[in-house]
Structure 1
Amino acid sequence: MVQGAVGTGGPVARRDQVSLGVLVAAVPRFKVDEAAAVCGVAEQRRGGKLPSHVTAYLTMALCLFADDGAEEVAQKVTGSLSEFGVWNAAWEPPTSSGITQARKRLGRDVLRETFYRVAEPVATDETRGAWLRRWRLMAIDGFDLDLPDTAENAAEFGYAGNDQSRSTFPKARVVAVVECGSHAFMDAEVGPWNRSEKAMAVSLLPSISSDWLLLADRGFYSFATFSAAAQTGAALCWRPPTQLLLPILKVLSDGTYLSALIDPAIRGRQREELLEETRSGAKPDPAAAHVVRVVEYDVPDRDGKELICLITSITDPDAATAAELAGAYHQRWEEETANGQLKSILRGPGKVLRSKSPDLVHQEIWAYLLVHYAINSLTCQAATGAGIDPDRISFLRTLNVVRRTATGTAAFPP
């Protein structure tokens, strides 16, 4: 597996072994190879071209070291790694243009396919803050990323605002599902700025598991979206829009009450009849209506207090109390934490992505998601082993440790 370098006496990694040692545990090479095969990306081994798995790890390294140029990143991560030895000095390092060409050959889909093969829940039964009774706490939300201002990026992703007052850079919109306990991204959809978060969320619903409690803010509610999420068998706890009418069907022992969500296409007398049937205890057709439990509570704010209203598919107070659901809903902010980790710490505040073409933008975003997943997997495992909440471990400090251990001194010729 490892051969000696002429004149060094030390171990040398073969070219096809070069990898980011800190990432291979979370993103193993065989999954990258599988993803490349599924996407029809041939392994390059001739003419000095970088193999696809090396390109994949280099692309992730570009996200790990967002402040550095491509050649500098290559020198950092193709140096001395404890798992693979040192870089063979006889092999010239890739240039910036060589890395870009390799990334173009890799294409937009390989790292997305790799993410789908890698991402899975990280929290265990012992992870603090990850559960509400038998349900794994998950949240869905969106964020945006600034892109280089090229004609290609502008055409595919667009700008925020309008012609009179638009954003400086094109923006990509990302809607993602996060495991609250670990902050790890589980699934994502990448699209143009003008595509709504609600529409993008629909494509993520098939990946929902029945042992999840999915949390969502009011921007994601529509009857169709709630219905599609409910059909997965997962428990739901969403904040509805303020204008949504929630008729009282029955007041429960804990002060919460049952209500009905009715398809807005059903109106007039038919709607009233459906509501009366539901009030009498009849189970409605899920295509037409859903019985939900409404939890209302006050939280202090600068104006005094704010009334929070939640709708949940957990209709039995014995299965989850109102206080438990209120506490669980506020775990939705862990999604905001994850978004901030990726945008403001890993990428850096106010930073624009590197990629000047749409294919490479997609590739880079999935690389960021993979690196973020790997770091939070490490954090969650460490916190669970220590018996503490992963929130108590600094993402920045962990990132700095990862950056230090991912680098090595490569013996490059002058």
Structure 2
Amino acid sequence: MGVVSRPDQVSLGVLVAAVPRFKVDEAVAVCGVEERRRGGKLPPHVTAYLTMALCLFAEDGTEEVAQKVTGSLSAFGVWDARWAPPTSSGITQARKRLGRDVLRETFYRVAEPIAQLATRGAWLRGRRLVAIDGFDVDVPDTAENAAEFGYAGNTQARSAFPKVRVVALTECGSQAFIDAEVGPWAHSEKAMAATLLPTLSSDWLLMADRCFYSFEAFSAAALTGAALCWRAPTQLRLPVLEVLSDGTYLSVLIDPQIRGQHRARLLAEAKSGAKPDPAAAHVVRIIEYDIPNRDSSELIVLITNIHDPADVTAAELAGSYQQRWEAEAPNGQLKMLPRGPGRVLRSRSPDLVHQEVWAYLLVQHAISALICQAASGADIDPDRVSVIKAARAALSRPSYSSTHYSQDLARSCGHDAAGT
């Protein structure tokens, strides 16, 4: 008859395939988290997978999740079948021993771009499309969480729950998170993004909204060699240096700290065609267009360091910026994973909140990898498949292995992706 996989085996198979044991062990070693009792049934790597399972089975209680997944963890070599499922208090204590950093370090080792050359919506003229954006997650209203993360709003009108702020780099083709920063609500998205920009690769095209623009941020991103396509803030002054054949024009970004004669000299040098010192100024290309079918006309102004229209056309860059809006989808989907829309995380202390957020980021990456593989095989855009639907399907197909589920999802994508 053959082996029959249970739903939890399918879903955990996805996790173990995307988050291999050796990478968890590397993170444990880097963080100095050692097993306190030799042979204990909740060593760090088991606790890490249980924490991810708590995210995958977000609607269920802690002990119920442990009952569901321990048999499957045994099949994947991270659980001893002789052990009894742990209690809720036992899991909480094990999570406290694991600490806030192990799953963050695991994410950094796992979260790589996953789009293939055949993945639709992933590339523009050989450049991998990525986007940066931020979102918030509600956490339980405890004194510790309030002190660590803070509330949105003010004392007169504040949010009902403390909020964690997350800023993430997303691969547009797969919609997978590939880098992230987690912090308190009071930290600005722009400040948190500053730690992510130096990690860009030279073969990427990064898109960002106007709230992320500053001369310092643009410079930091440009220094990596990556192509950039950022929306300009409305107050930014963009002098016209040269109008190009496609109606776009060259302009110059000058450090706002530079004023007077020095600024005038930099502008004159840019107009003459001289290449400015990147510490002081950047020659950029400006694309302007409006969006039809809106209540009021809205002018979109994009800044790019791709100067030549023959390299990438204005229409292509405008279309790619649309992909940035699509890349906001995983932010909303991740916010829906914790126990359904409008719910909060489980964790009642800051260390466990950090741990749980990174666990969700890992789960989202794992599911996105599965979707990307399936959608690429079906030759459709992965953004036509819902992360939420894929996660639920993985939990409800009792006779499917992880590989069979991916194949079935690919067939489903090809026939009824429009309904996902």
TM-score when normalising by structure 1? 0.90
Q: Which amino acid aligns with 2:23?
A: K
Among 338, 341, 350, the residue aligned to 1:349: 341
8 A contact 1:185–1:373 mirrored in 2: yes
8 A contact 1:346–1:399 mirrored in 2: no
8 A contact 1:214–1:235 mirrored in 2: yes
Query: How far 1:393 sits from its partner (Å)?
Result: 2.3
Query: How far 1:84 sits from its partner (Å)?
Result: 4.4
Q: Hey, what's the Cα distance between the residues in 1 that align with 2:36 and 2:394?
A: 29
Q: Larger % of helix: which?
A: 2
Q: Which amino acid aligns with 2:217?
A: T
1:21 paired to 2:13: yes
Q: 208-217 vs 161-170, which deviates more?
A: 161-170
Q: Hey, what's the Cα distance between the residues in 1 that align with 2:361 and 2:151?
A: 22
Among 46, 52, 76, the residue aligned to 1:60: 52
- In structure 1, the partner of 2:144 is 152
8 A contact 1:236–1:314 mirrored in 2: yes
Query: How far 1:168 sits from its partner (Å)?
Result: 1.1
Residue-by-residue CA offset, 1:375-406 (whole Å, 9 max, x unaligned)? 00000011111211112223232111222369
1:222 paired to 2:224: no
Query: How far 1:77 sits from its partner (Å)?
Result: 1.1
Q: Percent sequence identity over matched residues?
A: 75
Query: How far 1:181 sits from its partner (Å)?
Result: 0.3
1:358 paired to 2:358: no
Among 170, 176, 181, the residue aligned to 2:168: 176
- In structure 1, the partner of 2:68 is 76
8 A contact 2:115–2:372 mirrored in 1: yes
- Structure 2 counterparts to residues 36-185 of structure 1, below 5 A: 36-46=28-38, 48-80=40-72, 83-84=75-76, 90-185=82-177
Q: Using a 3 Å threshold, how does the CA distance of structure 1 residues 221 and 154 change in structure 2: closer, same or farther?
A: same
1:383 paired to 2:375: yes
Q: Hey, what's the Cα distance between the residues in 1 that align with 2:373 and 2:201?
A: 22
8 A contact 1:145–1:173 mirrored in 2: yes
1:290 paired to 2:282: yes
Residue-by-residue CA offset, 1:95-131 (whole Å, 9 max, x unaligned)? 1000000000001110001011111111011100001
- In structure 1, the partner of 2:22 is 30
* Total equivalences in the alignment: 393
Query: How far 1:138 sits from its partner (Å)?
Result: 0.1
2:71 counterpart SS class: coil
Q: Hey, what's the Cα distance between the residues in 2 that align with 1:328 and 1:97?
A: 48
Query: How far 1:81 sits from its partner (Å)?
Result: 6.9
2:328 counterpart SS class: helix
Q: Using a 3 Å threshold, how does the CA distance of structure 1 residues 163 and 407 change in structure 2: closer, same or farther?
A: farther
Q: Which amino acid aligns with 1:283?
A: K
Q: Which amino acid aligns with 1:141?
A: D
Residue-by-residue CA offset, 1:45-93 (whole Å, 9 max, x unaligned)? 5474501111000000111111111001111111357944998775221
Q: Which amino acid aligns with 1:332?
A: R
8 A contact 1:294–1:311 mirrored in 2: yes
Query: How far 1:347 sits from its partner (Å)?
Result: 4.8
Unmatched runs of 5 consecutive residues or more in structure 1: 1-9, 12-18, 409-414
Q: Which amino acid aligns with 2:396?
A: R
Among 219, 231, 235, the residue aligned to 1:243: 235
Q: Using a 3 Å threshold, how does the CA distance of structure 1 residues 374 and 407 change in structure 2: closer, same or farther?
A: farther
Q: Hey, what's the Cα distance between the residues in 2 that align with 1:346 and 1:133?
A: 37
1:78 counterpart SS class: helix
Q: Using a 3 Å threshold, how does the CA distance of structure 1 residues 106 and 276 change in structure 2: closer, same or farther?
A: same
Q: Using a 3 Å threshold, how does the CA distance of structure 1 residues 313 and 87 change in structure 2: closer, same or farther?
A: closer
1:175 counterpart SS class: strand
Q: Hey, what's the Cα distance between the residues in 1 that align with 2:180 and 2:165?
A: 10
Unmatched runs of 5 consecutive residues or more in structure 2: 4-10, 401-420
Q: Using a 3 Å threshold, how does the CA distance of structure 1 residues 86 and 170 change in structure 2: closer, same or farther?
A: closer
